[in-house]
């Protein structure tokens, strides 16, 4: 799980863990072969060991059983599917490795500076503060993104339970929102 946070409104790994432990059982992938589970693993070595024992060894044993003819064609097909699943899990793991094994800092000083120049009536339409960012919604949106774009699940929209309106950045009045955006761009360019 990649986490983003800020000193103004910190989110801790434990919060991500709790949210994901709730998200995945509510939204199991359609091609799942077992119930979804989520846990935080402290070190890369512990993760590699868990992955090896949980996925690689069972997949290898299943392939051996299938290759010696145990269970017939159906077992061979299931073994091939499990092997493909392990390969995909490894690809996802390697893709996100750089983000979860490193610490990332971002500086939103420019955003705060722009926020100081926006008049009060425009703040409602163009939300720049991270102080009120709803991390529950953020994490659920991240889970939705993983399902939709990494696992390629056919998901049309997010579950209303997963999203809170506090997170949306849309303007009530499109014209006024565009005017505020123009002002922000001008301020950033000065």
**Using an 8 Å Cβ cutoff, are 156 and 102 in contact?**
no
Distance of alpha carbon 94 from the chain centroid: 15
pLDDT at 57 over 90: yes
Q: How confident is the model at residue 6 (pLDDT cuts 50, 70, 90)?
A: low
CA 106 vs CA 29, 79, 134, 162: distances in Å: 32, 44, 18, 25
**Which pLDDT tens digit goes with each residue over 136-180?**
888 888 888 888 887 888 876 776 666 654 343 333 344 444 445
Structure confidence at residue 163 (pLDDT):
61
Nearest to 185 by CA among 110, 129, 131, 108: 110
DSSP designation for 7: S
What contacts 45, CB < 8 A, 6 or more positions away?
none
The more confident residue out of 184 and 46 is 46
**Using an 8 Å Cβ cutoff, are 79 and 63 in contact?**
yes
Average pLDDT of span 70-81: 87
Q: What percent of the chain has pLDDT over 70?
A: 75
The more confident residue out of 3 and 57 is 57
Structure confidence at residue 5 (pLDDT):
60
């Amino acid at each position: 799980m990649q986490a983003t946070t800020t000193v103004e409104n910190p989110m801790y790994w434990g919060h991500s863990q709790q949210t994901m432990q709730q998200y995945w059982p509510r939204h199991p992938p359609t091609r799942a072969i077992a119930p979804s589970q989520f846990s935080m693993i402290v070190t890369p070595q512990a993760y590699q060991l868990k992955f090896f024992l949980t996925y690689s060894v069972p997949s290898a044993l299943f392939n051996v059983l299938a290759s010696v003819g145990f269970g017939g064609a159906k077992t061979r097909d299931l073994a091939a599917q499990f092997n493909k699943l392990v390969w995909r899990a490894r690809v996802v793991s390697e893709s996100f490795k750089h983000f979860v094994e490193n610490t990332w800092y971002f500086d939103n000083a420019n955003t705060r500076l722009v926020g100081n120049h926006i008049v009060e009536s425009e703040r409602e339409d163009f939300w720049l503060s991270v102080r009120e960012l709803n991390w529950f919604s953020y994490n659920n949106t991240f889970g939705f993104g993983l399902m939709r774009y990494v696992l390629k699940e056919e998901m049309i929209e997010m579950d209303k339970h997963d999203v809170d309106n506090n997170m949306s950045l849309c303007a009530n009045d499109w014209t006024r929102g565009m005017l505020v955006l123009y002002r922000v761009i001008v301020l950033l360019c000065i």
